[in-house]
């Protein structure tokens, strides 16, 4: 997948690339207890989250919402929507994320 600006780095988060195409990719993220994907947004692509082990929370701003996902459930976050991901009560979770279609970027947002 073609990449643009990357303000957010996730070196300490366990991830596995499942597929990386020209304008779409799929990754599995495993968040240990206490870990979270910090607030950020993508300018051109959507994120589709599929909970594999949970529960997990995908929280958004504008609109402000909390999507509580259990294993087998999913939600979609459109471009230009700030979001963060974590396990409820700082618990662990594991999810598959599909990102696309288009150029990947991420922009950090203050908490």
The reported pLDDT for the residue numbered 82 is 97
Rounded to two decimals, the pTM is 0.92
B/e letters for 10-25, b = 16+ CB within 10 Å, e = fewer, are: eeeeeeeeeeeeeeeb
pLDDT (tens digit, 0 to 9) for every residue of the chain, 111 residues total? 566 776 676 778 999 999 999 999 999 999 999 999 999 999 999 999 999 999 999 999 999 999 999 999 999 999 999 999 999 999 999 999 999 999 999 999 986
The reported pLDDT for the residue numbered 83 is 98
The reported pLDDT for the residue numbered 11 is 74
The set of residues, in sequence order, having a beta carbon less than 8 Å from that of 52 and lying 6+ positions away, is: 28, 71, 94, 95, 96
């Amino acid at each position: 997948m073609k990449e643009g600006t990357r303000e957010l780095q996730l070196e300490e988060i366990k991830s596995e690339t499942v597929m990386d195409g020209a304008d779409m990719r799929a990754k599995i993220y495993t968040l240990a207890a206490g870990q979270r994907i910090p607030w950020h947004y993508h300018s051109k692509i959507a994120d589709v989250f599929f909970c594999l082990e949970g529960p997990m929370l995908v929280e958004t701003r504008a609109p402000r919402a909390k999507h509580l996902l259990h294993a087998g459930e999913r939600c979609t976050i459109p471009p230009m929507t700030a979001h963060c991901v974590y396990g409820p009560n700082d618990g662990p979770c594991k999810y598959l994320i599909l990102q696309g279609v288009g150029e990947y970027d991420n922009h950090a947002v203050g908490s």
